[in-house]
Amino acid sequence: MIALEQEAAAANVLTDYLAKRDIPALTADALQMKYGIAAVDVLILFGGAIPFGCDVAARACQAGLANKLLLVGGVGHTTRALQKAFAKRFPKMLTEGRAEAELMAEYLSCSYGMQDCSIEKKSTNCGNNVTYALAKLRELGCAAKTLLILQDASMQRRMDATFQAVLEAGEKIIINYAPYRPEILARDGNLVFRQRYWGLWDMERYLTLLMGEIPRLRDDENGYGPKGKKFLAHVDIPEAVEMAFEVLQQSEHGTVRAVDEIYKS
């Protein structure tokens, strides 16, 4: 029997690894210190992120940290959750049948007065999120060198590895910043989030998303790396992360998210 405290600790190890951040804070000082810039050319917010990610992106843009904002997301495995989150908070918002990028654009327009967001709404999965985003930038004539990417805590590292796989070495600088990093606690016989971010997954779904990433990131015949499906650049998975994955797999919460065949491309 795996103790709840062990499960919580294991989940936090996975979050710390997967929710990749290349800078400690989303500030001009942090960008300047590491990259020698005060702002990136483009901030790309992906629809897999919960609605809280929209607020993080909006504040970054308002602080002058990005010269352009691109919203990316069609209809995929996270779409229904995003639609429900927006519909719950904004009952008058039309959500049914709309792409993730469209929902995020309307929210940013209504809540932050941001009218000039570019959107890409054809992508259905992590791989074409990246290729369509880059295609949209070319379509816009945007020769961006620095890209700040924001994605769900569980998917940030895989998004980075996808960019690294499709870009030529040195072609662009990819800066990762997972907009939230949920911490899990064992409390009163349950696993709970220390902080409830707006639109955050329920616990079972979040753990499933975390666990689903490890088999995908492994560079073996079953993974998405160069030795497998070749969707990603090679990723090193620390032993501590593999051990945390095993703890969760042996627990009652241990489920790996299956591939959604309908969203493959």
Same domain, 31 and 115: yes
The whole-angstrom separation of Cα 170 and Cα 122 is 27
- Has residue 206 been placed in a domain? yes
Same domain, 200 and 169: no
Q: Can you give the pLDDT at residue 128?
A: 82
- Has residue 185 been placed in a domain? no
Instruction: Tell me the pTM.
Output: 0.92
CA proximity to 104, closest of 70, 60, 148, 65 = 70
Contact 68, 118 (CB under 8 A): yes
- Has residue 187 been placed in a domain? no
Provide the sign of the torsion angle of the four alpha carbons 206, 216, 218, 197, taken in this order: negative
> pLDDT tens across 66-122, in order?
999 999 988 877 788 888 888 889 898 998 888 899 999 999 999 999 998 999 988
Q: Is 102 helix (H, G, I), strand (E, B) or coil?
A: helix
Same domain, 159 and 226: no
Q: Is the pLDDT of residue 257 over 60?
A: no
The whole-angstrom separation of Cα 150 and Cα 2 is 33
Under DSSP, the state recorded for 66 is: B
- Has residue 260 been placed in a domain? no
Domain that holds residue 237: 4-17+196-255
- Has residue 99 been placed in a domain? yes
Q: What is the CA angle 128-133-138, rounded to 5?
A: 125
- Has residue 186 been placed in a domain? no
Domain boundary among 176, 211, 232: 176
> pLDDT tens across 166-215, in order?
998 889 999 999 999 999 999 999 999 999 999 999 999 999 999 999 99
Q: What is the largest CA-CA distance in the chain?
A: 57
CATH of the domain at 92: 3.40.50.620
CATH of the domain at 243: 1.10.3620.10
Q: CA separation (Å) from 111 to 83, 150, 152, 201?
A: 17, 19, 21, 22
